[in-house]
Structure 1
Amino acid sequence: MPKKLPEVILYTDGACRGNPGPGGWGALLIWNGKEKEIAGGNPQTTNNRMEMKAIIEGLKTLKRPCHVKIHSDSALIVNTFTKGWIDNWIKRGWKKSDKKPVENRDLWEEMLRAAQPHKLSWFKVKGHSDDELNNRVDALAVAESKKF
């Protein structure tokens, strides 16, 4: 019988002042009642890149394979994985259905590598609402964006 993977809840968010402009990302990892916040930013970026970076860095923080329940307010990211868009992009040589190149391919590929050892579940949360943990990672991301 396969060993049950440790379950980690990962809340992520990105922020950008201007798009492009100075940006930040924030992530909150919850495991076994313990919490860990991580955050970072970039002086010249986009909101989508910061949303993606939050997930990547959250996954890279994990030291062993886990079942990661990712909570994001980015419909683009959640739909990319839950609706199979990423599989289609890869089959088409990183082209979208309109034959245009996929934006931020470098980060999509980095996210796939970071996800490799883990089992992922995706949850779309409503941004800027009453989701306390989403608001918390949003605050981390905004604070990072203000450092530039």
Structure 2
Amino acid sequence: MQKVVIFTDGACKGNPGRGGIGFYLISEAGKTLKGSKGYRRTTSSRMELMAAIEALRCLKFPCKVELYTDSRYLADSVNKGWLNSWLSSPYFLNRKNEDLWRKLVCEMRKHQVSIHWIKGHSDHAQNRLVDRLASKACSSSRCLVDPGYVY
């Protein structure tokens, strides 16, 4: 199984407001892929989740994934078992961002994923890169509508 390292970030200008995601993938063979998308009205939490989902969707076959995020919301929800508790709860339907958590779980099941938290806005080159991608996407003139955001 090929190893892939992924860095993700989400940004939002206003909360809710214009949002963006950025991701950067590095394969074991040294190939890289970066991407970003902007959204018209969304939240920072949704952008952090969307960044991870979109990055995982870039993988064409099962991989061993090391995913790095500066989002405690994402990292702690997975690593501390909160997400598993939410999924088994009948109250999960009332959970914020349920649509994105379900999509993330679906994408994660295709791979062996471990999620690592890194300090945001620190001296980490890849984190700075995805932060710039996400921030720039917020200002894109081609922003998408976040279909799950409740207006």
Q: TM-score of the superposition, structure 2-length normalised?
A: 0.89
Tell me, yes or no, if the aligned pair for 1:94 and 1:105 is still in contact at 8 Å: no
Gaps of 5+ in 1: none
- Aligned equivalents of 1:117, 1:126: Cα separation in 2: 27
* Correspondence for 1:131: 124
Question: Is 1:27 matched with 2:23?
Answer: yes
Question: Is 1:64 matched with 2:57?
Answer: no
- Aligned equivalents of 1:41, 1:19: Cα separation in 2: 14
> How many residues were matched structurally?
140
Q: CA deviation at 1:94?
A: 4.3
Q: Percent identity?
A: 39
- Aligned equivalents of 1:103, 1:127: Cα separation in 2: 23
SS of 2:52's equivalent in the other structure is helix
Runs of 4+ in 1 over 3 A off after TM superposition: none
Query: What is the one-letter code of the residue matched to 2:26?
Result: I
Counterpart selection for 1:16 from 12, 18, 22? 12
Tell me, yes or no, if the aligned pair for 2:11 and 2:19 is still in contact at 8 Å: yes
- Aligned equivalents of 1:132, 1:94: Cα separation in 2: 40
Q: CA deviation at 1:42?
A: 0.6
Aligned-residue Cα RMSD (Å) equals: 1.2
Gaps of 5+ in 2: 142-151
Tell me, yes or no, if the aligned pair for 1:12 and 1:137 is still in contact at 8 Å: yes
SS of 1:139's equivalent in the other structure is helix
Q: TM-score of the superposition, structure 1-length normalised?
A: 0.91
Counterpart selection for 2:110 from 112, 117, 137? 117
